[in-house]
Amino acid sequence: RKSVVRITTGSQALDELLGGGIETLCITEAFGEFRSGKTQLAHTLCVSTQLPIHMHGGNGKVAYIDTEGTFRPERIVPIAERFGMDPNAVLDNIIYARAYTYEHQYNLLLGLAAKMAEEPFRLLIVDSVIALFRVDFSGRGELAERQQKLAQMLSRLTKIAEEFNVAVYITNQVIADPGGGMFITDPKKPAGGHVLAHAATIRLMLRKGKGEQRVCKIFDAPNLPEGEAVFQVTSGGIMD
């Protein structure tokens, strides 16, 4: 049996909320509005995953699937420096791919799995997991097919997490909730419906606070107490 590795987010408060960091062997989802910090957390994890285990890293490489074109290699440089790492070495250990359709996104995962069989990876990022589905299946009556394809993609991600002992970090969008009592205080909910709800083990809701502050709330996680953590987005990445 593979043993779980927890990767630091860069913020002690957020790590504590997560029981030590982002876990391998499962999917962690972050959803929240534009600029809530989902992609900045992804950038920080790209670096912290490469830290040795005793520094709360994963001692492994990172695969990054970008569907929105928001990965910035130059952002990695100050984050690597903040952790005392060589930025070029860190960048060399991030395998990056831009996906343009949901099928392309799926095929990239197949290719990555082959790579993971050969090299030690500890993190797979898909930012965002749902954006292309919402574009490729935008027509009326396409929802059932979209959900079926989304389920296929998520089951592939779960398989990768378990087979290669990697943490899978996916980002998701929020959509307006059409009604119902559950979201009366905040009329927004994560996209992807039940399919995504079932696939993601740990669901995090991010929101903007004051200034550079961001708030992370546990939306759903079987083993974590409910709670919130406040962190900052800085040039050196996520911090307390």
Would you say 150 and 192 are in contact if contact means Cβ atoms under 8 Å apart? Answer: yes
Query: What's the burial of 77, exposed, middle or buried (CB within 10 Å: 0-12/13-18/19+)?
Result: middle
Please choose, out of 27-35, 58-66, 100-108, 141-149, the segment that lies near ligand ADP by the rule CB under 6 A.
27-35
Instruction: Report the candidate in 60, 126, 67, 69 with the shortest Cα–Cα distance to residue 90.
Output: 60
Please choose, out of 31-39, 45-53, 76-84, 107-115, the segment that lies near Mg ion by the rule CB under 5 A.
31-39
Instruction: Report the candidate in 46, 39, 74, 75 with the shortest Cα–Cα distance to residue 60.
Output: 46
Size of the site for ligand ADP (CB under 6 A): 12
61: left (phi over 0), alpha (psi -120 to 50) or beta: beta
* Residue 5 or 168 having the CB closest to ligand ADP: 168
Task: Please identify which residue in 2, 35, 115, 159 interacts with ligand ADP, judged by CB under 6 A.
Answer: 35
- Do the strands 121-127 and 167-172 form a parallel or antiparallel pair, or are they unpaired? parallel
Task: Please identify which residue in 38, 56, 146, 149 interacts with ligand ADP, judged by CB under 6 A.
Answer: 38
Residue 158: CB minimum distance to ligand ADP, A: 23
- Binding partner of residue 37 among ligand ADP, Mg ion, none, CB cut-off 5 to 8 Å per kind: ligand ADP
The answer to whether residue 39 forms part of the interface with Mg ion (CB under 5 A) is: yes
